[in-house]
A and B are shown apart, each in its own frame.
Chain A
Amino acid sequence: MSAHVNGRPPRVGDAPAFRRALIGIVLSLVAIVIIAPLAIIGYQAFSQGLQVYAAAIAHPDTLHAIGLTVVTALIAVPINTAFGVAAAWAITKFDFWGRRFLLVVIEIPFSISPIVAGVAYLFVYGLQGLFGPALESADIKILFALPGIVLASMFVTAPFVARELIPLMQAQGRDLEEAATSLGASGWRTFFSVTLPNIRWALLYGVVLCNARVMGEFGAVSVVSGNIRGQTNTLPLHIELLYHDYQTAGAFAAASILALLAVVTLVAKVLLERQGAGRARRSPALAAPRAAPKTASAEVSS
């Protein structure tokens, strides 16, 4: 029976030995590469008891790092969301010169190492940089302060929202907006009553991913923040600092907060994917999130 599952000849890769080996390799890799480190974080964070954990979290520097991370996210995520929606709208609903170019440029932060972005910001806003002297004379501090951290985070996460929206909005086409306008709706009205409801899940999905990345960003931020404890340290930077200070329990306690954020993001992602976000594969006419079960709509539309 082994070679002929349900009496049919085996398909490609159906041989039991091959199947078991493949599943085995994947499972052990997942265990070693993903599960084990996460488990260690949880274990190490609480290794010296709940009190040490609580004390590590309650340390002013840690609290400050958490606060700074949240503030950065509160600024960077809304700006990048607005940017992502604007970019996706422009690329999918208008024809203009440089459209394809813009599409490629938006993706650059994905393919570039974040540290490059950090160094680039140094050269632009640093004392020896392009705008350095001008900024200094105007007494504006960008590097080694919140603005630099926000800018670096924004650079790294610029594509997240746009990338979720563009395929979906491309698939939806311009018909709905044209229909709304021909019925007399203004641009804003069209956006809020027609476009937004049809992209809301994908938008939320992009925002969740963007937020997770902003809060977790290390490379770019570490270059521009200056790593000043209790002042310009975000949570990921703070974890590194604690670790280098041999405060293992503290480092893991702080890390457990980021890990928790990852779990929340994951759950949100799964829930949003159930609503159809993250895959823009449905026909625009049937894209109703509240539509009837597939079978019913297939019946009547035949």
Chain B
Amino acid sequence: MKIRLDNVMKTFETFRAVHGVSLEIESGELVALLGPSGSGKTTILRMVAGLEYADAGHIYFGAEDATDIPVRDRSVGFVFQHYALFPHMTVAENIAFGMKVSKVRRDKAAIDTRVTELLRLVQLDGLGQRFPGQISGGQRQRVALARALAVDPKVLLLDEPFGALDANVRRDLRRWLREIHQELGITTLFVTHDQEEALDLADRVVILDKGRIVQQGTPEEVCRNPASAFVMNFLGDTNRFSAAVSGGVARLGDAKIPAPGFADGPVEIFLRPSDLGWSHAGEGIAATVARVIDRPAGRRILALTATGEAVELDVAPETVVSAQQKGVITIERARVYAAA
């Protein structure tokens, strides 16, 4: 089912949560709504579900205008951040709930068969008789997904699906959700504030800031070509410098950074830690090492430039470097944005 949002707006009392958002999600696509808290991502998801009504604009499911269809009749599967499993029902009863209350009558045997099927799909065979309080967080998450899938929704919506889980469980569940999506091909929209999660899981990432879409594209597009300083900053660690362009070239220390298309004047230059290198001499920014942080994948140097600006850079694990050492930060890649 293709979903289309057309200029959707939502205001809470005096706070404008969503400003005219238009978005298309192709049938079978897995899309992430990514943004900091307060960016309106959850509100958009809840409007697609019908848990909030849009103040203006339209939401289409396929060709049908779903804007005013109540959540009960919208046939969406919604997975809540804290799962919202019914604590007084067993896992099997939770999964069966949607089928039992459905207007489509199903006999008990059919429901039981479907519950067993779904338990197998979410790899929880044999746990049907447990209560939600008796299983782990990751298992609860999977029960919530099975419950949402039980009613054959047109769309699957997930609100911060892995937010409450620890890092290892989260990574496993992410891979697993991707597999389930591949298997079922259901149109899926999920909300996250974790850029790694969005990039890892989604076909397409929609980045939001203050109730507006600031960029959307495949993970590759948004990573390689961030549309604005905000996106650049939000997607990962960056170092920001103010510099001046003259004749299409910006200068940082004695490094020259091409800035084609920028008029002479101030600009902002963003450098990821991995875009930088450390060398004893050469063209770059002169700096002194303040501290070295060792990580499994390499070493991160915290350095101070001559003008006192802190810079973080990642170097290979073999690099021999220690605090107080003087050297030069070399620049391999840089992104230039107009000064704010």
| Count, chain B residues at interface, CB 8 A | 37
Q: Which of B73-89 contact A (CB under 8 A)?
A: 73-78, 80, 82-88
Is A179 in contact with B136, judged by CB distance below 8 angstroms?
Answer: no
* Chain A residue at smallest Cβ distance from B50: A182
Min C-beta distance of A122 to chain B, whole Å: 43
Report B-chain residues with C-beta under 8 Å of the C-beta of A288.
87-88, 131-133
A178 at the interface (CB under 8 A from B): yes
**Which one of A184, A194, A296 contacts B103 once the chains associate, using CB atoms below 8 Å?**
A184
Is A179 in contact with B84, judged by CB distance below 8 angstroms?
Answer: yes
Stretch at the interface among A31-39, A82-90, A279-287: A279-287
Is B133 in contact with A291, judged by CB distance below 8 angstroms?
Answer: yes
* Chain B residue at smallest Cβ distance from A299: B136
Is A182 in contact with B101, judged by CB distance below 8 angstroms?
Answer: no
Is A291 in contact with B82, judged by CB distance below 8 angstroms?
Answer: no
Q: Which of B48-78 contact A (CB under 8 A)?
A: 49-51, 71-78
Is A183 in contact with B134, judged by CB distance below 8 angstroms?
Answer: no
Query: Can you list, as one digit per residue, whether each of B116-159 has a CB less than 8 Å from chain A (1) or not (0)?
Result: 00000000000000011111110110000001101100000000
A189 at the interface (CB under 8 A from B): yes
Is A285 in contact with B97, judged by CB distance below 8 angstroms?
Answer: no
Min C-beta distance of B81 to chain A, whole Å: 8
Is A290 in contact with B131, judged by CB distance below 8 angstroms?
Answer: yes
* Chain A residue at smallest Cβ distance from B140: A285
Is B137 in contact with A301, judged by CB distance below 8 angstroms?
Answer: yes
B102 at the interface (CB under 8 A from A): yes
Is A292 in contact with B88, judged by CB distance below 8 angstroms?
Answer: no
Query: Can you list, as one digit per residue, whether each of A105-147 has a CB less than 8 Å from chain B (1) or not (0)?
Result: 0000000000000000000000000000000000000000000
Is B101 in contact with A186, judged by CB distance below 8 angstroms?
Answer: yes
A70 at the interface (CB under 8 A from B): no
* Chain A residue at smallest Cβ distance from B83: A285
A300 at the interface (CB under 8 A from B): yes
Report B-chain residues with C-beta under 8 Å of the C-beta of A296.
134
Query: Can you list, as one digit per residue, whether each of A175-207 has a CB less than 8 Å from chain B (1) or not (0)?
Result: 110111111111001000110011000000000
Bound-state Cα–Cα, A301 to B88, Å:
17
B277 at the interface (CB under 8 A from A): no
Main secondary structure of the interface of A (DSSP, over half): helix
Q: Which of A213-260 contact B (CB under 8 A)?
A: none
Is B131 in contact with A291, judged by CB distance below 8 angstroms?
Answer: yes
Given contacts A288-B133, A292-B133, A296-B134, contact A183 B101 (CB under 8 A): yes
A9 at the interface (CB under 8 A from B): no
Is B134 in contact with A185, judged by CB distance below 8 angstroms?
Answer: no
Bound-state Cα–Cα, A285 to B147, Å:
15
Report A-chain residues with C-beta under 8 Å of the C-beta of B83.
285
Is A183 in contact with B97, judged by CB distance below 8 angstroms?
Answer: yes
B20 at the interface (CB under 8 A from A): no
Is B87 in contact with A285, judged by CB distance below 8 angstroms?
Answer: yes
Bound-state Cα–Cα, A184 to B70, Å:
10
Min C-beta distance of A30 to chain B, whole Å: 38
* Chain A residue at smallest Cβ distance from B131: A288
B36 at the interface (CB under 8 A from A): no
Is B133 in contact with A297, judged by CB distance below 8 angstroms?
Answer: yes
B98 at the interface (CB under 8 A from A): yes
Min C-beta distance of A187 to chain B, whole Å: 9
Known: A181-B72, A184-B98. 9 other contacts (CB 8 A): A176-B84, A184-B72, A184-B151, A185-B97, A285-B82, A285-B83, A290-B131, A291-B134, A300-B134
Residues of A within 8 A of B (CB): 175-176, 178-186, 189, 193-194, 197-198, 284-292, 296-297, 300-302
8 closest A-B pairs (Cβ-Cβ)?
A291-B133, A183-B98, A175-B84, A288-B87, A179-B84, A185-B101, A288-B133, A197-B88
Residues of B within 8 A of A (CB): 49-51, 71-78, 80, 82-88, 97-98, 101-103, 131-137, 139-140, 147-148, 150-151
Could you jot down 15 A-B contacts, CB within 8 Å? Answer: A176-B86, A181-B71, A182-B51, A182-B76, A183-B147, A185-B97, A194-B86, A198-B88, A284-B84, A285-B83, A286-B87, A286-B132, A290-B131, A291-B87, A300-B136
